């Protein structure tokens, strides 16, 4: 069960974006598994994709199409990742684009395909193609909640968010959905996410805002240290609100970036809270580094350590595992005796040894809840970084050991 996640928040609509979701029988019968997101002409799109050397066929095709023109629709299927499927996988992804183009009345290059699920098995393209007309016909501006369900794989809860903010005196809306539970780690982040806004934004400015938001949100989460072949995050801007981005600076751009970052943070943290088998939601705060980049290296090392994560699952204040992770991080540490470690506000380590005022029961009490902050001050400078992660439970092995069966 996801940590600290309740029902989806109320979701508004984005003028110019319509979403349709159907059960196409792609892998499991009667499961919502195909989503088509349509956007009005004039919509611009920003995107970031997986950095994996084995990028999936839909990622390759989506990048090709996105570089050529602005999209009219996104087609997302679950069940099969269409990754490591060779030339046939590319053909299948393009066939899905062609089918969506016929249903919508646009060119195939204006369709961006996305897939998630099992790697190495060919996509049942006939089922996808057959389901696309129904998904197009079912499209509605109020379709965000259904779409959040339709992109899930091992997720236990749908993930969605909505914001309405005042930008330059004009109300601007942002809505987004995301999926992800396992195979999650920074490097774009392992997941699919689709965000839309009614602000008008030339692609370069929208891309700049997205890349800024990703750094502290989707690229600052980790469940298990593994990055997928199918990562993608797309932001659509329809321009229907009357507000417009005109420069990558100033109060309008700053306000939009802040709203986008907050929405991305909500979606990214929901992924960590729903990490496969997760029982603890953990923030790793590193301060006192020579630079923010150095702090981020340490934060990633601690957040992805299996030994740290299993100790947190057991509510075991084994701070030695945290020192282990900090100690092996590939940075220069001037004086280890300056390092200070806190667990949920309880100081456990300083001056090269256990804090003299610390008692084991204090640490156990600090870790008893389901939300934990691991704070490490390196004592070297002013650099800082935060990464969100979760624990490793018995269920993580069970879920992944039986993923294909």
Q: How far, in Å, CA of 289 to CA of 293, rounded?
A: 9
> What would the mean pLDDT of 17-41 be, rounded to a whole number?
96
> What would the mean pLDDT of 175-194 be, rounded to a whole number?
82
Hey, which CATH number is domain 17-273, 3.20.20.70, 3.90.1150.10, 3.60.70.12, 3.30.470.20? 3.60.70.12
Q: How far, in Å, CA of 139 to CA of 101, rounded?
A: 15
> What would the mean pLDDT of 36-42 be, rounded to a whole number?
98
- For residues 150 and 76, is the Cβ–Cβ distance under 8 A? yes
> Which residues, in sequence order, are bridge partners of residue 196?
175, 236
Residue-level pLDDT at 89? 98
Ranges in the chain annotated CATH 3.60.70.12:
17-273
Beta-strand relationship, 73-80 and 111-118: parallel
Q: How far, in Å, CA of 284 to CA of 375, rounded?
A: 6
Q: What is the pLDDT of residues 356-376, one digit of tens each?
A: 999 999 999 999 999 999 999
Instruction: Provide the sign of the torsion angle of the four alpha carbons 334, 337, 343, 344, taken in this order.
Output: negative
DSSP string, 324-358: HHHHHSSS--S-GGG-EEEETTEEEEETTEE-TT-
User: What is the share, in percent, of the chain residues with pLDDT greater than 90?
Assistant: 87
Token pair in block for residue 280 = 């603890």
Beta sheet of 353-354, edge-to-edge order: 221-222, 383-390, 281-289, 371-377, 340-343, 346-350, 353-354
Residue-level pLDDT at 9? 83
> What would the mean pLDDT of 332-340 be, rounded to a whole number?
95
| b/e 343-364 (16+ beta carbons within 10 angstroms → b) | bbebbbbbeeebbeebeeebbe
Residue-level pLDDT at 405? 65
Share the mean pLDDT of the chain: 94
Beta sheet of 170-179, edge-to-edge order: 44-49, 232-237, 192-197, 170-179, 159-167
Q: What is the pLDDT of residues 339-356, one digit of tens each?
A: 999 999 999 999 999 999
Active-site positions read 190
Rounded to a whole number, what is the distance in angstroms from the first to the last CA of the chain?
A: 21
> What would the mean pLDDT of 101-115 be, rounded to a whole number?
98
Residue-level pLDDT at 181? 84
Please state which CATH class domain 281-401 belongs to: alpha beta
Ranges in the chain annotated CATH 3.10.20.340:
281-401
Residue-level pLDDT at 384? 98
Q: What is the pLDDT of residues 260-319, one digit of tens each?
A: 999 999 999 999 999 888 999 999 999 999 999 999 999 999 999 999 999 999 999 999
Least confident of 25-39, 276-290, 329-343, 387-401: 387-401
pLDDT at 189 over 60: no
């Amino acid at each position: 069960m996801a940590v600290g996640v309740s029902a989806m928040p109320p979701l508004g609509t984005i003028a110019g974006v319509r979403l349709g979701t159907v059960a196409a029988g792609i892998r499991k019968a009667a499961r919502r598994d195909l989503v088509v997101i349509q956007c009005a002409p004039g919509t611009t799109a920003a995107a970031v994709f997986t950095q994996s050397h084995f990028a999936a066929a839909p990622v390759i095709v989506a990048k090709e199409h996105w570089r050529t023109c602005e999209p009219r629709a996104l087609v997302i299927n679950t069940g099969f990742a269409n990754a490591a499927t060779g030339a046939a996988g590319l053909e299948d992804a393009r066939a899905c684009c062609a089918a969506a183009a016929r249903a919508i009345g646009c060119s195939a290059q204006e369709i961006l395909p996305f897939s998630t699920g099992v790697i190495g098995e060919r996509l049942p393209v006939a089922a996808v193609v057959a389901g696309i007309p129904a998904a197009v016909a079912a499209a509605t501006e109020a379709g965000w909640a259904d779409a959040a369900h339709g992109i899930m794989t091992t997720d236990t809860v749908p993930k969605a968010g909505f914001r309405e903010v005042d930008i330059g005196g004009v109300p601007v809306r942002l809505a987004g959905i995301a999926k992800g539970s396992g195979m999650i780690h920074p490097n774009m982040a392992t997941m699919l996410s689709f965000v839309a806004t009614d602000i008008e934004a030339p692609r370069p400015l929208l891309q700049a805002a997205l890349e800024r938001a990703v750094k502290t949100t989707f690229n600052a989460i980790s469940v298990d240290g593994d990055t997928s072949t199918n990562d993608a995050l797309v932001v659509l801007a329809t321009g229907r609100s009357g507000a417009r981005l005109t420069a990558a600076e100033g109060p309008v751009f700053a306000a939009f970036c802040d709203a986008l970052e907050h929405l991305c943070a909500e979606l990214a943290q929901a992924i960590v809270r729903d990490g496969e088998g997760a029982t603890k939601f953990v923030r790793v705060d590193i301060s006192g580094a020579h630079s923010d980049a150095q702090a981020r290296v340490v934060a990633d090392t601690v957040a992805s350590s299996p030994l740290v994560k299993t100790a947190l699952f057991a509510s075991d204040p084994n701070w030695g595992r945290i020192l282990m992770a900090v100690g092996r991080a590939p940075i220069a540490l001037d004086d280890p005796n300056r390092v200070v470690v806190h667990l949920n506000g309880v100081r456990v380590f300083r001056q090269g040894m256990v804090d003299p005022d610390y008692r084991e029961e204090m640490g156990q009490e600090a870790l008893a809840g389901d939300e934990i902050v691991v704070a490490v001050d390196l004592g070297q400078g002013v650099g800082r970084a935060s990464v969100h992660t979760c624990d490793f439970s018995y269920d993580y092995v069970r879920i992944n050991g039986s993923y294909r069966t």
